[in-house]
Amino acid sequence: MKANPADYDLIGAPNLGAALALMAENPGALLPIAGGTDLMVQFAAGTLASRRLLSIWNLPELRRIDVSADEIRIGAGSTYTDVRRHELIAREFPLLAQAAAWTGGIANQNRGTLGGNIVNASPAADSLPALLAYEAELILASAAGERRVAYVDFHTGYKQMRLEAGELIRSICIPRRFSECVSYTRKIGGRNAQAISKVCVAALGRAAGGAIADVRIALGSVAPIPIRLPATEALLRGKHMDAQLIAAARKAALAETQPIDDIRSTARYRSAVVSNLVAEFLELLAAAPAPHA
Ligand SMILES: Cc1cc2nc3c(=O)[nH]c(=O)nc-3n(C[C@H](O)[C@H](O)[C@H](O)COP(=O)(O)OP(=O)(O)OC[C@H]3O[C@@H](n4cnc5c(N)ncnc54)[C@H](O)[C@@H]3O)c2cc1C
């Protein structure tokens, strides 16, 4: 049945404190809506989880990006356009800047937020592999206070996450220690723009003295949640790159992923792509000049 807007309440709040107070006063009853790019699809399908919506769009505390010596703090209400246009993100966090640039079209980038991408929790969400590779942490806020969790621990299963009733994601914090890494990201979809990923990858690495000193590989669309590849990374760390190592990494990556057949692709195709992307990243890493060379 077609959704009727008259059946829904949308309330607003002037700031984050007021929004959190409303959530505390109405436990579990208010569904936060930021850019609405996921929720409006659910609205149109008549599957919204609540008829009472709390707008958190443009709350000043959520729509800011602060840079300190150690980290960047991106408000969860920052849009893809905010992220894409931020000079320091482009320079130090290219995996995230690129993910923002290929998430939907311009209209979607002007409304869709990082916080919404995290909580919508699609296994194919484009910004999440970048957050895994950069070891992002989330600041979660409620009327009772704030807590900080590593993003890698946030999603616990398909659409499952450690977000309590009454909590919002306030910010995404990323340490500023990756500027010497080689960055590699690819989104494999039905076409280059405006496609949901069949597989997406965000990887970072650094070689020192001919050996792999640091390596992080994160993938989307190959498991119920976006994942890092800890066993593959452990296999690579400290080793000298050669064809044998790349072949072993291909195998290790396949053992760590659980791709499925769905409307967008097949498990077989996804596995082949995972193996090829890991190899392509490692070849790029092997060819990169040493930092400050
Ligand atoms: C045409 C189109 C193309 C798209 N293309 C892509 C794509 O290429 N890649 C991709 O990854 N996604 C894509 N998306 C999905 C969507 O744009 C993103 O997931 C976006 O980041 C959602 O953000 P939002 O602010 O619009 O979320 P909303 O729809 O407002 O909310 C989504 C969920 O997040 C919750 N939420 C939002 N903010 C917070 C917060 N701060 N704290 C707690 N909960 C919160 C809401 O309650 C809701 O459950 C596309 C969507 C459309 C409509």
Q: Which domain holds residue 283?
A: 183-287
Q: Are residues 75 and 157 in the same domain?
A: yes
Picking from 290, 141, 266, the residue whose alpha carbon sits closest to that of residue 212 is 290
Determine whether the shortest distance from the Cβ of 33 to ligand 1 is under 6 A: yes
pLDDT of residue 293: 46
Report how far residue 271's alpha carbon sits from residue 38's, in angstroms, rounded to the nearest whole number.
28
DSSP-derived letter for residue 5 is G
**Whether 235 and 136 share a structural domain:** no
Q: What's the pLDDT at 49?
A: 86
Residue 3 — pLDDT band, cuts 50, 70, 90? confident
Pick the last residue of a domain from 117, 141, 175.
175
Ligand 1 and 120: CB distance under 6 A? yes
Among the atoms of ligand 1, which is closest to the Cα of residue 167? 43
277 lies in some domain: yes
Residue 60 placed within a domain: no
How is the chain split among helix, strand and coil, in percent rounded to 5?
Answer: 35, 25, 40
Domain with residue 195: its CATH number is 3.30.390.50
Pair 195, 126 in one domain: no
In this predicted structure, the answer to whether residue 209 has a pLDDT above a threshold of 70 is yes
Question: What does the pLDDT look like over 186-196, one tens digit per residue?
Answer: 999 877 667 78
* Interval 30-89: pLDDT, tens: 999 999 999 999 999 989 988 999 999 999 999 999 999 999 999 999 999 999 999 999
Q: At what angle do helices 267-287 and 243-256 cross, to 10 degrees?
A: 140
Q: Whose CA is nearest to atom 3 of ligand 1?
A: 104
Tokens of 120: 């919508």
Band (pLDDT 50/70/90 cuts) for residue 291 is low
Instruction: Assign 115 to helix, strand or coil.
Output: helix
> Atom 43 of ligand 1 has which residue's CA nearest to it?
168
From the CB of 221, is ligand 1 less than 6 Å away? no
292 domain residue, yes or no: no
Same-domain status, 33 and 87? no
Q: Is 117 in the pocket of ligand 1 (CB under 6 A)?
A: yes
Q: What is the pLDDT of residue 212?
A: 95
pLDDT digits (tens, 9 = 90+) for 137-192: 999 999 999 999 999 999 999 999 999 999 999 999 999 999 999 999 999 987 76
Q: Both 51 and 106 in a single domain?
A: no
**Ordered alpha helix ranges (H), the chain:** 16-25, 39-45, 80-85, 87-92, 94-101, 106-111, 114-120, 128-133, 230-236, 243-256, 267-287
Instruction: Give the pLDDT band of residue 292 (cuts 50, 70, 90).
Output: low
Closest atom, ligand 1, to C-alpha of 37: 26
Look at residue 62 in the predicted model and tell me its pLDDT.
Answer: 98
Q: What percent of the chain has pLDDT over 90?
A: 84
182-188, strands of its sheet edge to edge: 182-188, 199-208, 211-220, 227-228
Q: How many domains does the chain have?
A: 3
CATH of the domain at 36: 3.30.43
pLDDT (average), residues 265-290? 92
Average pLDDT score, the chain? 94
Q: Cα–chain-centroid distance for residue 120? A: 10
Q: Which residue has the higher pLDDT, 288 or 248?
A: 248
- The candidate with the shortest Cα–Cα distance to 56, out of 29, 81, 36, 27, is 36
In a shared domain, residues 192 and 244: yes
Report which DSSP code applies to 60. T
- 212-252 residue pLDDT tens: 999 999 999 999 999 999 999 999 999 999 999 999 999 99
Identity of residue 217? I
The pTM for the full model equals 0.96
The CA-based angle 60-61-66, given to 5 degrees, is: 110
Please state the atom number of ligand 1 nearest to the C-alpha of residue 194: 8
Cβ neighbour number for residue 254 with a 10 Å cutoff: 18
Can you give the CATH number for the domain in which 138 is found? Answer: 3.30.465.10
- Same-domain pairing of 161 and 236: no
Domain annotation covers residue 293: no
- Is there a single domain that holds both residue 105 and residue 37? no
Strand partners, 140: 147, 169
- Both 13 and 77 in one domain: the answer is no
- Whether 185 lines ligand 1, by a CB cut-off of 6 Å, is no
Which of 175, 195, 227 is the last residue in one of the domains? 175
User: For residues 191, 193, 195 and 201, what is the CA-based torsion angle, rounded to 10 degrees?
Assistant: 90
Same domain, 12 and 76: no
Place of tokens 């890493």: 285
Co-location of 154 and 89 in the same domain: yes
Q: In this predicted model, what pLDDT tens digit does every residue of 77-92 receive, in sequence order?
A: 999 999 999 999 999 9
Specify whether the CB–CB gap between 245 and 252 falls below 8 A.
no
Q: Does residue 93 share a domain with residue 16?
A: no
Looking at 175, 191, 215, the residue that finishes a domain is: 175
